[in-house]
Each structure stands twice: as structure tokens, then as C-alpha cells.
Amino acid sequence: VVGSAEDRVSHTVTMSFLYVSGAALAEELDAAGFAVASGSACSSDALTPSHVLAAMGVPRARMMGSVRFSLGHSTTDGDIDRAIRVTVDAARRLAATA
């Protein structure tokens, strides 16, 4: 998980995965019904690693893909649990093929 554990907004989380393309992970999650964004909010359209994530101290930012989740009022604990399972499975699959 990227960012401070204490000083953060409660409805958004960015996660980075070593040797996984953020774009490929976002596609996998989209196919599973999750709308996520790849990279940081200020560079989500860039095809290069996020300079923001690198500045935040994300180790090996150039070797990591990131996805950003935003939660809404209708998000349930079940939605979050499913998102975690699907994300972990997809990241493992993608890393195994890297």
C-alpha cells in the first residue's frame, strides 16, 4: 500500500506490485467488474512510471505497477474482500508471466 498509514483519505488506496504492469492489472480488474485506475492520479495517462510514486519513496517504482481504488458510499465489506482476492490472484498471475 502506497502512502502513510495514518495521514490519508479514507476512501482511496493505491497499491503497487513488483514486476506487474499497472495497466495489465487494471485490465484484469476491469474484466472482473472493478473500475480502478493505474498509477497515481496526477499521471494516470502517462506510459512511464509515476514520478509521484517515486518521490513518495515507493521502492523500485520503475519496476512496479500500481492501481488506485476509490470507495463509494455503496461499497460493502464484501466488495472490498472480493477486490482483495481478485487483485491478489491477478497480480500473482501477471508476476508469474513477467
Catalytic residues: 42
Q: What is the DSSP string of 29-85?
A: HHHTT---EES-GGGTT-SS--HHHHHTT-TTGGGEEEEEEE--TT--HHHHHHHHH
Strand partners, 12: 70
State how far Cα 37 lies from the chain centre.
7
The grid cell for 81 is: 474482500
